[in-house]
Structure 1
Amino acid sequence: MFSVTVRDHLMVAHSFRGEVFGPAQKLHGATFVVDATLRRRELDENGVVVDIGMATGALGEVVAGLNYRNLDEEPDFAGVNTTTEFLAKEVADRLVERLGDHAAGLCSVAVTLHESHVAWASYERDL
């Protein structure tokens, strides 16, 4: 299995519902390092998993759509706890959509959101 990982960062504000979240029930900020790993069983005809520049740009566009937003005010997330796990899936799904035809031949996409150097969450989907 071959893979390429591209990176960006994301800054949001949000709050959570539920006692399990303790003080995070109040509005707070979160800054994530975002890694997107694209996997392919065999290299394409150009000898690559995917064009790194194109993948970096696609991830940047996805992140830009969420960056500096209060997610509590986003209609797409009404009634949802925008946990790190939830956001990892959201970024992965939006990235696959943004890649369009460039996703052909990929077998999976994994997105990891690093909350800090000691905690992160990931979501991986098959294509």
Structure 2
Amino acid sequence: MFTVTVRDHMMIAHSLRGDVFGPAQRLHGATFVVDASFAGPDLDADGIVVDIGLATDELRRIVDDFRYRNLDDDPAFAGRNTTTEVLARAIADRLATRVHDGAFGPSGRGLTRLTVTLHESHVAWAAYERALWTG
């Protein structure tokens, strides 16, 4: 399996509901380093698993939807805690849709897996991995 990872970052604001979150129940900011790893069993005719430039651009477009926003105000997350795990899945699902829509060009057709990792700090992160459907 071949894997290519691209990286971006985002700063968001949010609050988390539930005693388990302690002081994070109050509105606070968070900065995440966002890694998106694209995997496929084969390389295309150009010797790549995915076009790194396209992958970088698509990740940036999706992360821009979150960047510098209070996620408590985002209808997509109404009634849900925007934990690191939830955000990783939201980004992965949006990237998967872009792969399916052909935004990753010809090399994107051979992708089979996607993992999005959100790094909260240098010692803590969460990831979501999913299969990709290709057409």
Do these two structures clear the TM 0.5 threshold for a shared fold by scoring above it?
yes
Please name the residue that 2:89 is paired with.
89
- 1:107 aligned to 108, 112, 118, which one? 112
Q: Sequence identity of aligned pairs in percent?
A: 63
* Aligned-partner SS, 1:86: helix
Distance (Å, rounded) in 2 between the aligned partners of 1:38 and 1:6: 9
- Residue type at the aligned position of 1:48: I
In structure 1, how many angstroms separate the alpha carbons of the residues matched to 2:32 and 2:9? 5
- The corresponding residue for 1:37 is 37
Determine the C-alpha separation between the residues in 1 that align with 2:70 and 2:81: 12
Kindly indicate whether residue 65 of structure 2 is the aligned counterpart of residue 65 of structure 1: yes
State the 1:46 CA deviation.
1.5
Residue type of the alignment partner of 1:120: W
Q: Aligned letter for 1:105? A: G
Q: Contact (CA 8 Å) 1:36, 1:110: kept in 2 or not?
A: yes
What RMSD, in angstroms, separates the aligned Cα atoms of the two structures?
0.8
Unaligned runs of 5+ in 2: none
Gaps of 5+ in 1: none
What's the TM-score once normalised by structure 2's chain length? 0.91
User: How far, CA to CA, are the matches of 1:15 and 1:98 in structure 2?
Assistant: 29
What residue number does 2:17 align with?
Answer: 17
Calculate the TM-score normalised by the size of structure 1: 0.97
Partner SS state of residue 39, structure 2: strand
Distance in 1 separating the partners of 2:8 and 2:96: 16
Residue 117 of structure 2 corresponds to residue 116 of structure 1: no
